[in-house]
Chain A
Amino acid sequence: MDDNLPIITLLGFGPQGWGLALLAGAGLTVAVALAAMVLGMVLGAALATVQGLRVPVLARAAAIYGVVLRGVPELLVVLLLYFGTPGLLAALAGLFGLPPPESPPAFLTGCVAIGLVSAAYQAEVFRGGLLAVPRGQIEAAMAAGMTPWTRFRRVIAPQVLHHVLPPLGNIWQFNLKDSALVSITGLAELMRVSLVAAGSTRRPFVFFVAAMALYLLLTTASSALLHRAETRSRRWAGGQ
């Protein structure tokens, strides 16, 4: 291979260029972060709800989940899930006398790993948001005869949304950056593609700069979008 290809060829869209692969990697990065965000949101909201209930065992379990997942490096969670689940699934299948199943795809384990960590942080955010709704408003909604769903949709959600959007935006940015850790599972997201390109062309500096630029583009674009969403959510916040 020619060692002195110009940078424009290396990053271009020609047969020797990695432009398309890098863009596809960036797309996969967004997909991993998005899936992890959704999973984290569902699980995080569930954890926050459980911590608000007056069931000591469940509340304690949710609190321990938060402490553990926020105290352990994200890399270890990804490694544990990626290398640990095939054995665990095989053991589980063995219990029922089934043949060991195929290992889950890297995309799935990656999303779940990042999502589990994200959930621990999102639970904190939702808990804070729920505490910010004045107790009297919920009582007033009950007195007005609203069903739990209407109460949630018309009284709680609009106010919580306004409180949780900025910290959720932060968590989104972390998800975006944490998705780079999924590269160790071999999933061809942006980090992985840049490593592969760096290895096969022996021009790591060029490709890491390109990957950094793409990550910056993703984080900047999403922070601009989030800023707009925050301004809009303030409409329902009662003139604050």
Chain B
Amino acid sequence: MNDEIAFLAATALAIARALPVTLLLALAGALGASLLAALLVAAHQTRALRPLARAWIFVFRGTPLLLQMAMVYYGLGALDAVRHGPLWPLLREPLVCAWLALACCCSAYIAEVLRAALAAVPRGQIEAALACGMNRRTRLIRVIVPQLVRLALPAYGNELVMLVKSTSLASTITVVDVTGVAQLVIAHSYRTIEVFCLAAAVYLALTAALTAALRLIERRLAQGALP
């Protein structure tokens, strides 16, 4: 019995030490994915760049993230152009590769969310803003973005929850995150169920906290909205 408690405590400590890696990956991934998604939506609005944005979204939404991570970590590293390129010191790091794949993959999903929200902003409001003589910038900041945020937030939140869960795939390319540590502990102890359940509880707490925070923001933003 004491053995069991000591083992669980040691495992919990090991998982807690790996938590910053998972959090960093999730945070940097969310930031990178959101920025990329905004760029994709902007590119989608121009005639010249639209095919590029479409192709990006098609490829990253149509293939598994696990394959994308393997592609960045093992696939790109096998190319001479990358191996001798200036970015090699970065692309050699599994954490950077995991971040890159995560940001690219999630950007495609978030871009679709933003695009749908943009299409849902009533046309008449943009025309009204034009009629008031607002310039492009003012129109964007005062009319489009405030509504876009409100319309996109629920679906955007879902994508963020997906992103947090997807960070666990980084363990397949040797990143020692929460899932990676769990697998290491199991390799030593052969106690599968307890360890995986502990790791699962960590992810569950993260996603639950994120969902609660998003709901709070949604309620805040709903104040002053038209019914």
Contacts and interface: CB of A to CB of B under 8 A. Distances in A.
A65 interface: no
Given A76-B203, A184-B172, A84 B192 contact: yes
Given A72-B165, A203-B78, A80 B193 contact: yes
A80 B64 contact: no
A181 B69 CA distance: 12
A208 B172 contact: no
A212 B179 contact: no
Interface stretch (B43-51, B55-63, B86-94, B136-144): B55-63
Nearest to A177: B64
B75 A204 contact: yes
Contacts of B126: none
Nearest to B171: A75
Given A72-B165, A204-B78, A205-B78, A215 B67 contact: yes
Interface string B71-82: 100111111000
Nearest to A219: B62
B206 to A, nearest CB: 8
B134 interface: no
A198 B79 CA distance: 13
Contacts of B151: none
A219 B161 CA distance: 23
Contacts of B147: none
Interface of B is mostly: helix
B113 to A, nearest CB: 13
Interface string B128-169: 000000000000000000000000000000000100011111
B39 interface: no
A72 B61 CA distance: 21
B67 A72 contact: no
Contact of B204 (A71, A74, A194, A208): A71
B59 A216 contact: yes
A122 to B, nearest CB: 16
A76 B204 CA distance: 11
A32 interface: no
Interface string A160-196: 0000000000000000011111011000000100110
A203 B161 CA distance: 34
Residue of B67, B74, B78, B183 with most chain A CB atoms under a 10 A cut-off: B67
Contact of B179 (A70, A73, A87): A73
A109 B77 CA distance: 33
Interface in A50-79: 67-68, 70-76, 79
Interface string B88-129: 000000000000000000000000000000000000000000
B192 A191 contact: no
A203 B77 CA distance: 10
B70 interface: yes
B86 to A, nearest CB: 19
The 6 closest A-B pairs by CB, nearest first: A180-B64, A73-B168, A71-B207, A177-B64, A219-B62, A73-B165
Given A71-B161, A76-B199, A205-B71, 19 more contacts: A72-B207, A76-B168, A79-B182, A79-B196, A80-B196, A83-B186, A84-B196, A87-B193, A177-B63, A191-B66, A191-B67, A194-B67, A198-B70, A204-B70, A204-B74, A211-B67, A212-B63, A212-B67, A215-B64
